[in-house]
Amino acid sequence: MFNIFKSTPKNYEDLDGSTFKSKFQQAGKAELLDVRTPGEFASGTIAGAKNLDAMSSQFASQLDKLDKDKEYFVFCRSGNRSGSACDLMASKGFKAHNLSGGLGAWPR
């Protein structure tokens, strides 16, 4: 019968703020990706982050322009949008890490 509660394994990592920052700093080829809207991005982000709006209709096609040899450290406000973005990125062959808890979890 159907098991609607069956979960599938994630193909990306959810990381707490300290681990996310540490792994990003240790990664050789890595990029910070802020998947919030341009307005949210303009209100403040992590230094060095690139903005790619996950809510945009062009998000999937913009992903195709990214370098698959890099690791992507993805975040949003709460970690939900970036989790969905990581899921899509992983399905396209990217190595992605989600900042669990979002921007506020980034250590200052």
Catalytic residues: 76
Residue 103: burial class (beta carbons within 10 Å; 0-12, 13-18, 19+): buried
